[in-house]
A and B are shown apart, each in its own frame.
Chain A
Amino acid sequence: IMASTKASKEQKYDRQLRLWGDHGQETLENAHVCLINATATGTEILKNLVLPGIGAFTIVDGHTVTGEDAGNNFFLSKDSIGKVCVAGSFHFLPTALTCLRLGSVLWSASVPFLVCKTYGLIGYMRLVVQEHTVIESHPDNALEDLRLDQPYAEFQNHIKSYDLDSMEKKDHSHTPWIIIVAKYLEKWLSEHNGQPPKNYKEKEAFRQLIREGIRKNENGVPEDEENFEEAIKNVNTALNPTKIPSAVEDLFNSEQCKNITAQSPCFWVMLRAVKEFVHNEGNGSLPVRGTIPDMIADSQKFINLQNVYREKAMQDAAAVSKHVESLLQSVGKVWPESIPEKDIKLFCKNASFLRVVRCRSLAEEYSVDTVNKDEITSCMDSPDSEMVFYLMLRAVDRFYQQHSRYPGVYNYQVEEDISKLKACVNSLLQEYSLNVNIKDDYIHEFFCIFGRYICSNLLLCFILGSAAQEAIKIISHQFVPFNNTFIYNAMSQTSATLRL
């Protein structure tokens, strides 16, 4: 029965396993999500989390929630791994107050908090997480890690093993373009004082140099050598200097990396180990990634070249492991039990793509002293910015606080509520010293259409679909969550991410 359950799970989850792998799926099955006021939204968010396989749920009714008593066991237990709290605010939840209290409890417990709200045709999501590390960010357009500008010893030896001029035509036409570029780069460097092609003119000349290497037939006509064409096409990216991305440099310089303790999460221990590697065995560079793109070549040449990269990657990962071991020892921990080797290998492979997301707390967002005035005023400079909807949502919150109801619920209230809401907008802008202008249209629209029960099911579905994926990102530590406010306008089908 166990086997058939495993097999049927593999079948069921096949399409998503291809995105986050078995290890990602495991994190979902071990996750525990708390849904607050989810019952008011029907089963939408539950569906979006149950379908991909989230393991456990705690559901809390919004009417009774306060920061302190909302699922105490859930929040305050020591182990917050795999826990996310999603709060939906759709009706009756006095947003600001409750969310702030809830927010501070969750912040202290290091439980990521995702707030979802819809109001008329505007959807809102806020992610609150102190520090979220991502090893597998799966970037869409990653640059290859080829090291052509600083070939390591084994790579150099491998390049030496080729003699392009003396090769048979068949071998010549099936030599990987990486080798071709490497060979011609050697030639160029020897003729240009060790300086690689830098500007467009030089790169053109370099491409021409390669083109001249194409074999010619007895009539002097260049043969059809696709691998050489590939080499020429890839010159630009191939010549990119090997560099540690600034995002990774920033991580190296962060406090968590500098101060490794027994409590340091694995991410920081591994990052520090990579940093040590960079300053020692790596000679200023990250561990070699170990992958190369497919290219025209015969099987043997390609596989041999691929193995040169793979073996170097393994070597570098082993060196990083040594640093991990000594770091752990220095804080009284044991290796490899604390951090398995396969985790270190995965970390090294993704070294260029590591990301850490730090969201500001709700307290910081709401406090007059720390409100992000710059972000608000600069967004409001653009006429079409979604920021205006954020401010309107805040004004509506304020309205609720003052009048214990939402504006314009009944037709007869509409006229007086216009001026009441406008007053809320003004007091909000004044309190935060925001020198921005909100057109009357927005105020009229907000309460003409927006009132109690206003959440359009459809808007909810958009936001709760997005929310589910953000929760999955948080739980799996794969792909990068947004930071920190997402506004969706169903009128225009546009959206924006704001940092508040």
Chain B
Amino acid sequence: MFVTQVYGDNGKMKEYHYTGPVEHRFSPYSFNGGTVLAVAGEDFAIVASDTRLSEGYSIHSRDSPKCYKLTDTTVIGCSGFHGDCLTLTKIIDARLKMYKHSNNKCMTSGAIAAMLSTILYGRRFFPYYVYNIIGGLDEEGKGAVYSFDPVGSYQRDTYKAGGSASAMLQPLLDNQIGFKNMEGVQHLPLSQEKAVQLVKDVFISAAERDVYTGDALRICIVTKDGIKEETVPLRKD
């Protein structure tokens, strides 16, 4: 799809000034917005994303969730350029099947994370423009979150926000889940109910202040009993 380069940093539209005729080169990328969030608990993991698909000033769809189920214990959230998100998830699904056929077992969350790192680095010189966050259960049944950059650098976290509103959400999570910048508070472990409520509140805040986030929130809760999905409406403006 042709994209004229009128985007400034962070995918926001730049002010329009007439500068004379400018030659526009074809860009293989486009920024489709969206925010993804993952939280790891003691025995659960939550992956949540908004469902708005935008481009420039337009909204292409209000029902395009960014969480994709990979296995019974792993969900991936992908935001950035939707074309690369789709291709990447197809490649991951294919590699999961290949692994299952060769090794006669499902890939664990840690293994999927390590594999995704090499898939992303394989395109080091023409990257997948995708910010990935994997949420799932590790081999011991504890919640695990793995966050990536577009070329495959990754690490395991307790919580991570990615996508267009990540800079707004991450400090809030640092404070509420990581208890950062607070003195004299008890570090209580996060229960599943509290985590789900926090995720809903955090996305409502993001939808208030980020134009690319809104419409609806899709939450995937991963526990040993499987993956439960919940949809919550957000601001549509």
Are A and B bound to each other?
no
A residues lining the B interface (CB < 8 Å):
none
B residues lining the A interface (CB < 8 Å):
none
